[in-house]
Structure 1
Amino acid sequence: MLRPHPIPPGPGQESVWDYPRPPRLERTPARLELWLGGVKVADTTDGYRVLETSHPPTYYLPPGAFLPGVLTPAGGGSVCEWKGEATYWTLRAGGKTAEGAAWSYGRPTPAFAPMAGYVAVYAGRVDECRVDGERVTPQPGGFYGGWITPNVVGPFKGEPGTLGW
């Protein structure tokens, strides 16, 4: 296993290697927007972000930020050692379907209780996600749901060779 070499952050940037483990939940005033099928399906400035060592932030939006009918329950689930049991969601808009492209925690652990019911989305499974107008790059790999913006530097968990981090 190769040890990661963190990229030094420049002015106005954050290094994911300065994020904590266990992860931290924090409010964000950033404008979070999502598109699917050419339709803006969510828009809010009432989000949360979860910060964890080696991961770009994962953003959680209130369910009311989504257009009515966009979110429908998807099969399956998972358990996070920090947040608890996740429920998955399918997004539908503009004639396009993104199966299991979102997840939420209905009853998260006490440290994450404020984000109960808030919804995170895999950026790579929808047309586009933005943070304060900046188009995000999905976190590498298919397992993690972080959103990479120009103000966050890595290397990031999920890239080839990072399984053992």
Structure 2
Amino acid sequence: MTTEYEKPTLKEEDLGHFRGTSQYYRYPVPWVPFLYTDGVQYVVSKGDAYWILDLIGSWQGEKEVKGDSMLQQIQFWTLTVNEDRTAEMKCERDSGDVAVVQKIKLTDFPLPRIRFYLCHMFCYWEFSGEGPRRNENYGVLTLPSER
């Protein structure tokens, strides 16, 4: 018996029911210094898009982000997918106040647009290193409805 791989499906209408989270997830790579919520887990698993965590995480140590005190409080990340399947991931301090932009040459992410909030990154950078890092020593990536 042969089974064909079915690409996970993600629909925008599925995201509205996420309010808060029942648990926090930790992505097992060192450049992702934040935890993420049930809603984000749903997006990256159903959208086959764990690369979004890599992308956002990889910017956290860069001077454009790490050196910006506003972005240590909150970051607004928006992925916009174009009709030709190219995309752009943008980090803003506030609406229209763009800190970084990353172009994506090709993606199969199923939604035309999605937004994430990353907050409390100062908790990660201010950790003294005494003892193991606990959940409160990380930033948290959420969907807007989970805030």
| Higher-helix-fraction structure | 2
TM-score, normalised to structure 1, is 0.24
| Higher-strand-fraction structure | 1
